[in-house]
Amino acid sequence: MIAMDILATFEPWWRFGAALLIGALIGLEREFVQQKSGDPDFAGIRTFSLIALLGAAAAHLSKPYGVWPFLAGYLAVAAIVWANYNTHARERGFEGVTTEIAALLVPLLSALVIWGEAELGVALGVLTALLLSLKPGLHDLARRMSTQDLRAMLEFGLVSAVILPILPDQNLGPFNVVNPFKIWLLVVFVSGIGLLGYVLTKTLGAKRGIGLAGVLGGLASSTATTISFAERSRDEVRLSDVLAQGILLSSSVMFPRVLLLVAVVHPPLLSLIAVPMAAIFVVGLAFVLWLARGSRAQQDQPSQQVGFSNPLKLSTAVSFGMIFALVLVVVRAANEFFGSTGVFVASVLTGLTNMNAITLSVSELATLGQMGLSLAAVAIMLAVVVNLLSKAVTAWVLGSAELRARTSRGFGLMLLVGLIGVAALWPGL
């Protein structure tokens, strides 16, 4: 309130100042690029600042005189940009229109500030400057993308921006627990986590080490990471130490991921599971650090490429949504007809392969008031214990002898802490 009063005192001068800063910020980025490349363009920090002031002044005049002053000013800027572009195109050939588009955008952003949308205008100005500065990284990313990567990006856009808005936001189906919009929103969220891990791996590269790949792989699927690393340990026994670290890191990352899912769906549940989850995470991370101390020589060796398949496919997203809806109904039916015993059985069976579905299901039921917090907490912890046990068995069956020895101890410690967590929560049922 005090800040608004201060700004009101300096009307309209602070708006002109904000518009000037937008132009100066974008112009500074353009000037920096020109200085670094030694290739001058038609507009730098001064020109962009003046364009911003012209747009702001024209927008200010449009208040008493209508839209015509702004339209005339904008057309004047467009004519200047067009003339300069034609001149440069004839002299040096086509070199892109990035600077020209930015010059056409600046008056519009300045007008937003003058017309009462200062926050939006400034935010878009900062995003514009940031986007311009990311040119090398974006071009490099585009060069390194495969057809599958591009398809994954487009499918995520389809999942999040096309399908989600058209789904009904109401409870339907058996027991009135299936909400298509909420279910698909969680599909978008989980798919986004997996895609983020995949993009970071592709962007940063597996050259940073198997440990990094394990952390990022854990964002997508710690089970898939365990299978991949365990199988690789048979072919590359000398990397067993580092691969074991990657497996345990990916499994440790699962716990912050589960807590994040619970926080999104039903935050009150965090008060019951945060401590045991954090304890397992700390134990797993501590064991990985202990392993790392004994394998520095191996970590110093050049790491080979760690392969990850694309985690996002439209069929996968649809399948997860159907599985989540089914688990939601099954857990609710188990609670209705068999009480807590039925919920525990469903939790154990689901936890063998997928922590996301059971976590989201019991959290959603707790949100709807159809399951108590204590029962939901125990169900999630049981699923965690079973999930850890299944990955320990997977590493033992598929991995080398060296990897078995290391992962069995790590998973054993994490399982012990998990069982203690279940025992601590059990009396609250």
For residue 107, what pLDDT band results from cuts at 50, 70 and 90?
A: very high
What is the per-residue pLDDT across 121-163, written as a single tens digit (0 to 9) for each? Answer: 999 999 998 888 877 766 776 777 777 777 777 888 888 888 8
Measured in degrees and rounded to the nearest 5, phi and psi for residue 291 equal -65, -40
pLDDT(120) > 80: yes
The radius of gyration computed from the CA coordinates of the chain, to the nearest angstrom, equals 28
> How confident is the model over 397-411, as a mean pLDDT?
88
Angle at 131 between CA 129 and CA 135, to 5 degrees: 115
Angle at 84 between CA 80 and CA 130, to 5 degrees: 85
Q: How would you label 85-112 residue by residue, b for 16+ Cβ within 10 Å and e otherwise?
A: beebeeeeeeeeeebbebbbbbbebbbb
- Tell me which DSSP letter residue 173 carries: S
**Of the ranges 242-246, 249-253, 291-295, which one carries the lowest mean pLDDT score?**
291-295
For residue 189, what pLDDT band results from cuts at 50, 70 and 90?
A: low
Which token pair is 131? 């986007």
Average pLDDT score over the chain: 78
Per-residue confidence (pLDDT) for residue 313, from 0 to 100: 59
What is the per-residue pLDDT across 56-101, written as a single tens digit (0 to 9) for each? Answer: 999 999 988 888 899 999 999 999 888 887 777 666 655 667 888 8
Q: What is the largest CA-CA distance in the chain?
A: 82
At residue 305, the 3 state secondary structure works out as coil
CA dihedral sign, ordered 138, 144, 146, 148: negative
What is the per-residue pLDDT across 1-59, written as a single tens digit (0 to 9) for each? Answer: 455 555 566 677 889 999 999 999 998 988 887 777 766 667 788 889 999 999 999 99
By the 8 A CB rule, do 29 and 129 touch?
yes
pLDDT(268) > 60: yes
pTM score of the predicted model: 0.55
For residue 305, what pLDDT band results from cuts at 50, 70 and 90?
A: very low
What is the per-residue pLDDT across 360-392, written as a single tens digit (0 to 9) for each? Answer: 777 877 787 777 888 888 888 888 888 898 889
At residue 179, the 3 state secondary structure works out as coil
